[in-house]
Structure 1
């Protein structure tokens, strides 16, 4: 296995690989596996969702022109149709997959059987796999919580008693829970107050470069269709619904909403005051000069979205680091995007007060005053939405809270918690 390009200054380039490949063939190599990137390179060896699928194919294709032995390609090739087309078009003789097999170990069997919609997709977040390993933690997978504990799951016994389960909320947690309950043989129904599934994750998938987050939602939706799990839209959890369905268990997966901070002058400013959710669902149109309060993952993705729309953006991060909840690989590409956009980042911020058209604050101990802004976007903490828990007193069902409704966290915990609930019955 060799690099087609190191993607670093004074590093190995494709022209070098094209000289080496025939020599390796002559020396007896039976195949060449062409990858790219090293630690610290501008193109990471394990790239995130921001990079095109099949990002290293062109390297293998070039090598294939100078050797007669089989050439293998790799690099975010997650769709079997895409993989097939690479081979049919003569760009490579074989396709190597890594993270896709973590997301779904049955990927080859499902592809061979033509069950493409049943393949659980990698979303390229790099969080459960490479990020965890680099942090010296057990590797796993955001979309497949079974990874790393298969031996424990093999010891589980089959369900002997089935229940009626009502899942309130069709975001990723609710969909994952409904799927797992159905797979375990329970009778399941989902109610959702909105007119579509996905919750906040569906909004996040509209951000630049993050569309693949929607792939896991499509998988869950297709799974519920396959398992004949009904989803009632525009239907919040209510006593009437409980009386009608008469569930044994209710799973509250009702998500979270942005929390509004209390800061001097914030609610008296003449600037428009909106949230990141408003930006993504286009409920409000931001102005041209925007202050984003919050430097976590959502704050940076919001800033990127606004910058792509032509806004001048300032991000105020009250923490010491940006987007700590993201994997380092994913964060790298987002930070690179922000460098190219009209975005200014401040960290270790302590806000003194908001004015009619700006804000005064300290950053790293230095005083800063900004003016001439027209919009403030709140993108810091989220608070759980679980008012429906009060209905437990009016029902014989046992209520369980999962996902953001329990505590707002990232997707890995939401799906893992949901599947645990489904297995526990």
Structure 2
């Protein structure tokens, strides 16, 4: 087959689990040798079901075993919640390799550097670690610190875990990102890690806990650009975080400023609600931080929605109900819009770093609090800081 008639050979999270099983099932009707099937099969129950129903004789899992090389043993023991899940993001296993970089895995940063890892032995002295932020970086760090034998406490100023990743999972086709959050939640419970919600990192809290280290995993927030007319427009001005969280509603005609991954998944989110969406990308390419396999499916979705994409955009001015800009040399004027969604750069949230000068405890920044980037860096930095304790 070709990509016009079936899924990519390495499909992303947008594709259904077992997307190639029907092909193996048909082949099995015509041959007398064992048939192996593949294609986003990640749940042990699903794999068992395929074999029991005679659709294939063997199930092959590639990325699931990269995400967790102990998958078979955990599945055999029925420890399904401890299996570290592949989410089909294609960043470490495919995107990095195509870019001629070392292959790895977003959820398992050990991949590709196993030779560097020391034998995991209990430390001579257990440390007390206080982590600010229960997003993916904070939870990953807490898990790894606990595995190293240290006592770990997470404080989270909101009522809930996941950070911006939990918002990203609300976009169409990206619900599987929640599997990472669920895995870390299960691990935090299994390892008896304390997590205090509705608790902001303060000097009083640091003095009360008296930790040996403070890890800031406080995340990031959208940055508001300075563009002529943007703050004078009569259109509603909101961020992608406001929109996807449900905090703000937008009008029927929407301008999304930003053509990165967040901008495109926000456009998809709004298009699915029936909104007419225009995306203004001031860069030359869309969603460069996504893997090409993942981006392919998102771009195909946007073609079906009421979404118009512009790149190489130079915004001249926002007006009361629209925007004037140039794209690839052409001057374009849009009118009749009711909302502008800001979805470009993010800035780190580091206000708590000021507390370091008032205490003897050393602070460390990880994840978006260090620098807003994609998920692979957040989780790998979390593992690294814990292993180096």
Residue 243 (structure 1) shift: 1.6
Hey, what's the Cα distance between the residues in 2 that align with 1:42 and 1:314?
Answer: 29
Alignment of 1:242-253 (within 5 A): 242-253=206-217
Deviation at 1:169, TM superposition (A): 0.1
- Match for residue 364 of structure 2 among 400, 403, 409: 400
> Is 1:362 matched with 2:349?
no
How far has the Cα of 1:155 moved from its partner? 6.0
Q: Paired residue for 1:103?
A: 67
Tell me the TM-score normalised to structure 2 length.
0.98
Of 174-183 and 134-143, the range deviating more from structure 2: 134-143
Partner of residue 324, structure 1: 288
Q: Distance in 2 between matches of 1:285 and 1:82?
A: 38
**Deviation of the 1:67 alpha carbon:** 2.2
Q: Which residue of 2 aligns with 1:74?
A: 38
Q: Deviations over 1:135-177 (max 9, x none)?
A: 1211110111100110111467653332100000000000000
Within-5 A mapping of 1:157-168: 159-168=123-132
1:181 and 2:151 equivalent? no
Aligned pairs for 1:23-422 within 5 A: 43-154=7-118, 159-422=123-386
SS at match of 1:335: helix
Give the superposition deviation at 1:42. Answer: 5.4
CA deviation string 1:282-328 (max 9, x = no partner)? 00111100000000000000000000000000000000000000000
Query: Distance between the aligned counterparts of 2:206 and 2:2, measured in 1?
Result: 59
Q: Report if the CA contact (8 A) 2:257-2:280 is conserved.
A: yes
Q: Is the 8 A contact 1:248 1:396 kept in 2?
A: no
Q: Secondary structure at the match of 2:48?
A: helix
1:26 corresponds to: none
Provide the alpha-carbon RMSD of the alignment.
1.1
Which of structures 1 and 2 has the larger relative contact order (alpha carbons within 8 angstroms, sep 6+)? 2
**What is the SS of the residue equivalent to 2:175?**
coil
Structure 1: any 5+ residue segments left out of the alignment?
Answer: 9-40
Retained in 2: the 8 A contact 1:193–1:234? yes
Secondary structure of 1:60 counterpart? helix
Distance (whole Å) between structure 2 residues aligned to residue 161 and residue 126 of structure 1: 39
How many angstroms does 1:43 deviate by? 1.9
CA distance in 1, matches of 2:62, 2:211: 41
Query: 2: distance between equivalents of 1:320 and 1:275?
Result: 22
CA distance in 2, matches of 1:6, 1:207: 28
Q: Is this contact kept in 1: 2:120–2:148, CA < 8 A?
A: no
Total equivalences in the alignment: 389
> Which is worse superposed, 313-322 or 60-69?
60-69
Q: What's the CA shift for 1:393?
A: 2.1
Deviates more, 1:234-243 or 1:319-328: 234-243
CA distance in 1, matches of 2:37, 2:269: 32
Residue pair 1:182, 1:229 contacting (<8 A) in 2 also: yes
| Residue number in structure 2 paired with 1:35 | none
Secondary structure of 1:212's match?
Answer: helix
